[in-house]
Structure 1
């Protein structure tokens, strides 16, 4: 059992080091009962072993803080870099129907092939929206499932996940089918494939 002299020594330490003890890192360290007891032991019984145990506990605690901060910042910067890479990839490899029809124009395949909503065409068949004969024939050679997926994505503006829910298929299956259809359209239209990511 600790004597009064030891308790007084610890109380004096607490009163004389208020600013130090209010440091957020120290406060957090001492919030654990075991660490608080190690501090008390090293003040009341200042042996080498007691001080060493306190130092070891603090080094381990501080390492965890720094390691967590390092991992957090690494993840943060990797997320930013990944976002930049995805944006760059999307800029370099736009969706097939969004690509320019010719090199010297900004008009895309979608612009020349599909009626805009202003015409208020109400049809669930993508072929009814096509005005270009070559694209019409390329779309006609697809399976009805592929045409339906392209209709839901490019006419209705649904995501692959929404199409999957509607057709009771997985998002991966929809994405694979859509990519396969776009690859076939590109091949049928004899469009260059160097910019194609499918």
Structure 2
């Protein structure tokens, strides 16, 4: 704890060195009373106090510089990561996530969902009904190029919202085969629509 005399001496010293004490680093350094005591002793000619205050200031200054370095490194790394993610997102859009109009409507949004609960024989998985719901002519053309099996699986998955394992039970194949066929169909749609844009 500083005495009233030490505070008076320090305030007078600050007044005489206004330019130095206008620096934020100096101001933060002298927030600690020990540093003020060392400054007063050093100004009276104590060489040990002068060495101590110099060492403490160098540590203080290094800590501030290091914190600034780390924070700017984190900031620029984050900016770089965000740019890389944006670049990846714009280059790797799924066919159904790709915007088809200026107002942000995607292909997925333009498809009508006709999900119904599964009852044996009650599902109309006819791809022509799914095709009629398309509002994008390019998607219609691309869909017609799919094989019959790909059309049926795409209809069950995207029009009727069934999971791969549910479709596999209906068609009596493995869920992996459904996933593979669905992904192949999506790849065909993407290639066709990318080439025609």
TM-score by length of 2: 0.55
Residues 95, 7 of structure 1: alpha-carbon distance in 2 compared, 3 angstrom cutoff: closer
Aligned length: 144
Residue pairs, 1:54-69, within 5 angstroms:
54-69=53-68
Name the residue aligned to 1:191.
Answer: 188
Determine the C-alpha separation between the residues in 1 that align with 2:187 and 2:15: 83
Q: RMSD over aligned Cα, in angstroms?
A: 4.2
**Offset from partner CA, 1:134-179 (integer Å, 9 cap, x none):** 454133576933599xxxxxxxxxxxxxxxxxxxxxxxxxxxxxxx
SS of equivalent to 2:114: coil
Q: Where in structure 1 are there 5+ consecutive unaligned residues?
A: 101-109, 149-180
Q: For 2:163, what is the secondary structure of its paired residue?
A: helix
Please state whether the residue corresponding to 1:144 is helix, strand or coil: coil
Measure, in 1, the Cα distance between the counterparts of 2:154 and 2:79.
Answer: 38
Q: Which has the larger radius of gyration?
A: 2
Match of 1:175 in 2: none
Equivalent residues of 2:95, 2:189 under 8 A apart: no
1:73 aligns with 2:64: no
Instruction: Say whether the 8 Å CA contact 1:9–1:43 is kept in structure 2.
Output: no
Match of 2:83 in 1: 84
Structure 1 residue 85: deviation in Å? 0.8
Q: CA deviation digits over 1:83-108, x for unaligned, max 9? A: 111111112211242469xxxxxxxx
